[in-house]
């Protein structure tokens, strides 16, 4: 049997609390499966004090590790709930689950990632007319950067990312996802002026403020090579 500690709360009310449940069912399921069962089954949703708790609000999409919607902090590490198996994350007899802390909370485990998308859009991190690199390794890295799930796990662990929403507005450190998206936009854009602007922003906002601790790479569920992408962006050569 395991105990599951879930941090709950609504943004409008400000305060949060932890509900504690026990579970002694199939341990080969994922945290996403467990949350689905929990919300369906009143017996599971009765807490250790015998009180029936309301269904847990959380986000999911694909349930296949492809959309990034179910990112949450499980045992202190940001992960995808649909790729976190109870027999691994619960092997010590308990699991803690809380929402990502660097996004505005909506409710329970659900957060709003709107500002992250708005920021990428505002800084023109996209490609209008694409060119195809002649270099195989560059194409490979462009492909890998395109695997980003926009889940936000890297932002959660980055010590220098305080949130795009922390009042520093346009000058805030935009976090590791920014470098991933910049690499892809820069290496596929056929517009010199656009690329020039991407470089200035990258140098001002990212390069000056990243300390290369690589927590971003360690937690990335898409296994994006943050170190390689950042090294290439930092290089004078356009590789
Ligand atoms: S780089 Fe990795 S951790 Fe960061 S948002 Fe993309 S998939 Fe998630
Ligand atoms: S390497 Fe840079 S972007 Fe990645 S976690 Fe460290 S400070 Fe953040
Ligand atoms: S629900 Fe899509 S990645 Fe988990």
Is the distance from CB of 185 to CB of 178 less than 8 angstroms? no
Q: Which CATH superfamily is domain 113-235 in?
A: Alpha-helical ferredoxin (1.10.1060.10)
- Looking at the chain, which residues constitute the CATH 1.10.1060.10 domain(s)? 113-235
Within a 10 A sphere around the Cβ of 136, how many other Cβ atoms?
8
Query: Which atom of ligand 2 lies closest to the CA of 212?
Result: 1
- Looking at the chain, which residues constitute the CATH 3.10.20.30 domain(s)? 2-111
Beta carbon of 222 within 6 Å of any ligand 1 atom: yes
Answer yes or no: is pLDDT of 58 > 60. yes
Distance (Å) from CA 146 to ligand 3 centroid: 16
Answer yes or no: is pLDDT of 166 > 60. no
Is the distance from CB of 102 to CB of 163 less than 8 angstroms? yes
| Local structure of residue 134 (DSSP, 8 states) | S
Query: Which atom of ligand 3 lies closest to the CA of 67?
Result: 2
Tens-digit pLDDT profile for residues 212-231: 999 999 999 999 999 999 99
Task: Report the DSSP pairing between strands 94-98 and 2-9.
Answer: parallel
Which CATH number applies to 2-111: 3.30.2010.30, 3.30.70.20, 3.30.70.380, 3.10.20.30?
Answer: 3.10.20.30
**Highest mean pLDDT out of 37-51, 149-163, 166-180:** 37-51
CA distance 239 to 134: 10
| Local structure of residue 204 (DSSP, 8 states) | I
Beta carbon of 67 within 6 Å of any ligand 3 atom: yes
Q: Best of 150, 157, 179 to mutate for ligand 1, by most ligand atoms within 8 A of CB? A: 150
Whether this model's pTM surpasses 0.75:
yes
Percent of the chain at pLDDT exceeding 90: 75
């Amino acid at each position: 049997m395991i105990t599951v500690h879930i941090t709950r709360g609504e943004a409008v009310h400000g305060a949060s609390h932890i509900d504690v449940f026990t579970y002694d069912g199939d341990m080969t399921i994922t945290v996403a499966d467990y949350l689905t069962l929990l919300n369906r089954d009143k017996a599971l949703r009765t807490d250790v004090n015998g009180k029936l708790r309301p269904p847990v609000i959380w986000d999911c999409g694909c349930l296949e590790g492809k959309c990034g919607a179910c990112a949450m902090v499980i045992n202190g590490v940001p992960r995808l709930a649909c790729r976190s198996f109870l027999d691994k994350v619960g092997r010590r007899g308990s699991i803690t689950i809380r929402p990502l802390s660097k996004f505005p909370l909506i409710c329970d485990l659900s957060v709003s990632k709107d500002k992250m998308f708005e920021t990428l859009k505002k800084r023109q991190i996209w490609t209008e007319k694409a060119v195809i690199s002649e270099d195989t390794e560059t194409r490979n890295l462009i492909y890998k950067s395109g695997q980003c799930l926009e889940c936000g796990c890297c932002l959660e662990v980055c010590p220098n990312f305080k949130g795009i929403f922390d009042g520093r507005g346009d000058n805030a450190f935009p976090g590791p996802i920014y470098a991933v998206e910049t690499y892809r936009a820069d290496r596929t854009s056929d517009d010199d002026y656009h690329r020039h602007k991407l470089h200035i922003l990258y140098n001002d906002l990212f390069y000056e403020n990243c300390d290369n601790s690589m927590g971003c790479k360690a937690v990335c569920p898409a296994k994006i090579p943050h170190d390689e992408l950042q090294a290439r962006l930092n290089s004078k050569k356009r590789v």
